[in-house]
Amino acid sequence: MCRSIGDKVYAVADGKVVNEQHGGNVTESQLIWIEHCVDGGKFYAIYAHVNHSKRVDDEVNAGDEIATVADYLGSCDHLHFGINPNGIVTTKVNGIGWGAGPLPADWDCNNQDKSKLETRGFVAPYDYLNSHTPCGGGGGTTYTVTVRTKVDGGSYNAAAKLSKWVNDHWETVPDCDWATTPYSKGGLPAARYRCEYGTTVPGGNVPAWYNVPAAEEHGSPITGDFTFEQEYQRKDWYARYMGQSIDMSPMVPGETRVFRYTFRNEGKNAWDQNVRLGTVNPQNRDSAFCTSGDWISCGRPTAANENPVNGGGADGNLDFVVTAPCTPGHYEEHFNILYENHFWFGGDSGGQDVSFAVDVAAPSAPSAPTLASPQPGSCGASPTLTWNAVSGGPCGGTVSYFAEIKGANPPNNSRDWITGRSWTPTGLAPGANCTWRVKAKSNVGESAWSGEWTFHVNQAPNKPTLSSPANNACVGSRAVQLCWNDAGDPDNCPSARTYRVVVPGAFDQSGIASTCQTVTVNADGAFSWYVLAYDGQAWSAASDTRSFTVDATPPNAPTGLTVAPDHFTATLAWTAPVETGCSGVAGYNVYRRRNGSSGYVKVNTTPVTGVTHTDTLANGVAYDYAVAAVDTFGREGAKVEATNKVIGKPGDMNGDGEIDIADVIKCINVINDPNASAVDKALADYNRDNKADAADVEAMKKAILGK
């Protein structure tokens, strides 16, 4: 392709120099062979007729300036560029390459027939770069191309057709019409004529080859010596595929990975979140790897991470999560980018069908459950067996469980496929040692059995024996202390015990830790009681039942207290009280006080067991007496009183123990003395009718005369 001396030459892709010539004949040397990377493979490119400083094993990156166009001995200065994917590397320049170009139509290639040019292994550079992805760049970028003639003079033919070299022949550019007026740009001479059309130019600014052959029916647009120039203008929308980061090793169902495709925005317009990755082959299909909550939809994995992705060369990284499907097999997924609701990138707008291929393994059955409780070696009367959940995975659906107790006690005791994670077996024999296990099942299959744990079926404690109070005891307080003896546990599992005490109608309480409990009843009466033991899991049978009677009320007062005074004595008599309690009357306490004093003094040292008592005192003194009953608990009841009783023989007014005429005379004096003392009046009351009067005098006379 004809170029100007000093034009820069750029690498079309990443690569390494494998051969080079410099400093020699420009026609046969001054070249670079570079091994480039494309689609994971290699191709070789020759850059010839150039000035350069590259040496073998030098590495280059896509877009690096690697040389400049050399002076081709004063003739048409050009770049000799060729691509050979078949490994041909040579230092020969002329006579090798692709087709018959790129040389002007009148170039005779050192008088060699064009048909004899060595073409073995070489391909059309434009087609190759546009259909492959060179590492680090390459591919096709769409531009608007302005082709201009550069002339020294001559005529202009507006009907002339522009031709472009394609494979091994020239093809007319159909949409190019020459301007009817000279075109000038940037101060260049006006003797330039232009033809504008859109095309995809490989490798960035690498031009195609153009000519207006004399053989065309309309002839050349000009006469005289001429060359062609090209001007490039970036398209509004253009995407170049830059690479991917994808792990395509085999996956298991439900496994997730993050994949990335990178596209470069080489257009003018920035990309917003409406520029997205979409499924193709066919377009908009639902992907088997769609990940709910991460993908925009199952036909739109993602938009670029960056927002916006600026035009002119910014990269957009499109990260998305893939989830392996449940159905095993080999999967190939194809994508391209699109401007949502407008167009898919492709052709003049770049873009590329990108894909990945992954093998998905068959889904796995659930793992074996792990047991939770009861722990190995524990005991329970009716234990609830629990285990930990296992996942059915993304393909297994709901997991169910099968639990069983092994062994003959009880035989084949199991719970068949439940979704819960607990089971309380029934019918377990007390004292048995039971081994149990669990397995899981999903839509995919069954797990292995869990490990095996063993528990002991608890035996209830022995029933307690009652201690106190004795059966049918009489209790003198409404706060009754009940006591019993623990009778042990057959398997002592667990070893700690508490108790339940029941007094029907009065008390019922569990969780009592000691072997005595004070129970308070609300009234006197007869009660029964019993006790049960609890080991934390099972209750014993009830103890034997005992009865007790509560009599918390002191005895009633005696009735009918009489006091019979005599010479230096007083004889008391009373009637025993009527009792309803169980405590009964054990005896009596007798009290006296001088009439008119404030406090009684108990006469007896021990309870009086009968219903009479004789008190010895001085004559002529008035006393008050009281008697109270005492029950079997030593409680004293209310008192019965007899007051103002004078000690002495009635009628013995002078206290000499005899009743005679002197006593009659004194009795008459007391009766007639309004100021007589109460004691004298009491002694004068001979007939004990509680008054001293003439009747007492007459009675005394009769008593004396009767001697």
Supply φ then ψ for residue 217, to 5 degrees.
-65, -30
Residue 395 scores a pLDDT above 60: yes
* pLDDT confidence tier of residue 190, bands split at 50, 70 and 90: very low
Is there a single domain that holds both residue 102 and residue 13?
A: yes
- pLDDT surpasses 90 at 589: yes
The order of strands in the sheet holding 192-202 is 192-202, 140-151, 226-234
Residues 625-636 have a mean pLDDT of 94
| pLDDT over threshold 60, residue 697 | yes
Q: Is 632 exposed, middle or buried (0-12, 13-18, 19+ CB in 10 A)?
A: middle
In a shared domain, residues 321 and 383: no
Structure token digits, residue 174: 């159909």
Distances (CA, A) of 179 to 147, 163, 166, 228, 509: 11, 16, 24, 15, 114
- Report if residue 656 sits inside a domain: no
Q: How far apart are CA 378 and CA 408, in angstroms?
A: 20
pLDDT of residue 638 exceeding 90? yes
Residue 386 sits in the same domain as residue 354? no
In the structure, what pLDDT confidence band is assigned to residue 144 with cuts at 50, 70 and 90?
Answer: very low
How many C-beta atoms surround the C-beta of residue 492 within 10 A? 13
Evaluated on CA atoms 216, 218, 223, 225, the torsion sign reads negative
307 plus 405 within the same structural domain: no
Q: How many CA atoms lie within 13 A of 635 on its CB side?
A: 17
DSSP 54-110: --TT-EE-TT-EEEEE---TTS--B-EEEEETT----S--TTBSSTT-SS-TT--TT
pLDDT of residue 658: 79
The residues facing 60 across adjacent strands are: 15
d(CA 657, CA 653) in angstroms, rounded, equals: 9
pTM exceeds 0.75:
no
Examine the pLDDT at 232 and tell me if it is beyond 60.
Answer: no
Q: Among 550, 584, 609, where does a domain finish?
A: 550
Residue 89 confidence (pLDDT) above 70: no
Structure tokens at 466: 């009652």
Distance CA(686)–CA(707), nearest Å, equals: 17
Higher-confidence residue of 548 and 130: namely: 548
Domain-ending residue, one of 457, 486, 516:
457
Within this chain, do residues 37 and 79 fall inside the same structural domain, yes or no?
yes
Q: Which of 483, 485, 512 is CA-nearest to residue 497?
A: 512
- Tell me: do 484 and 443 sit in the same domain: no
Give the distance, in angstroms, between the CA of residue 174 and the centroid of all CA atoms in the same chain: 68
Q: For 42-74, what is each residue's pLDDT tens digit?
A: 788 888 888 888 988 898 887 788 988 888 765
Q: Is residue 366 part of a domain?
A: no
pLDDT of 246 higher than 70:
yes
Residue range 419-428, pLDDT digits in tens: 999 998 888 8
**Is residue 249 domain-shared with residue 349, that is, in the same domain?**
yes
180 within domain boundaries: yes
Q: Check which CATH number belongs to the domain holding 314 and give it.
A: 2.60.40.10
Let me know if residue 654 belongs to a domain.
Answer: no
User: Mind giving me the DSSP string for 638-683?
Assistant: EEEEEEEEEPS-TT-TT-SS---HHHHHHHHHHHH-TT--HHHHHH
Residue 226's DSSP bridge partners are: 151
**pLDDT confidence tier of residue 188, bands split at 50, 70 and 90:** very low
Report how far apart the first and last C-alpha atoms of the chain are (Å, whole number): 188
Last residue of a domain, one of 325, 360, 395: 360
Burial class (CB in 10 A: 0-12, 13-18, 19+), 334: middle
User: How wide is the angle at C-alpha 17 spanned by C-alphas 16 and 22, nearest 5°?
Assistant: 160
- C-alpha angle 261-264-266 in degrees, rounded to nearest 5: 155
In this predicted structure, what is the pLDDT of residue 463? Answer: 96
The total of structural domains in the chain comes to: 7
pLDDT at 701 over 60: yes
Residue 217 has a pLDDT of 33
Same domain for 313 and 269? yes
Strand 473-475 relative to strand 546-550, pairing? parallel
Q: Is residue 524 part of a domain?
A: yes
3-state per-residue secondary structure call for 306-348: CCCECCCCEEEEEEEEEECCCCCEEEEEEEEEEECCCEECCHH
Does residue 565 contact residue 648 with C-beta atoms inside 8 Å? yes
What residue type is assigned to position 584 of the chain? G
Residue of higher predicted confidence among 685 and 488: 488
Q: Among 553, 562, 558, which residue's Cα sits nearest to residue 577?
A: 558
Percent with pLDDT over 90 in the chain = 41
Quick one: 673 and 596 in the same domain?
no
Answer yes or no: do 103 and 43 share one domain.
Answer: yes
Tell me, yes or no, whether 651 lies in a domain: no
Enclosing domain of residue 54: 8-131
The H or E element spanning position 9 is: strand 8-10
Four-residue CA torsion sign, 65, 66, 71, 77: negative
If asked whether residues 15 and 114 sit together in one domain, one would say: yes
Based on the fold, state whether residues 14 and 127 are members of the same structural domain: yes
**pLDDT beyond 50 at 228:** no
Answer yes or no: are the C-beta atoms of 38 and 83 closer than 8 Å: no
Given a cut of 70, whether residue 300 has pLDDT beyond it is: yes
Residue 478 domain-assigned (yes or no): yes
Residue 28, in any domain of the structure: yes
pLDDT score of 351 more than 90: no
Percent of the chain with pLDDT over 70: 74
Q: Which amino acid would we find at residue 657? A: G
Q: How far is CA 395 from CA 255, 322, 327, 345, 365, in A?
A: 11, 15, 9, 36, 9
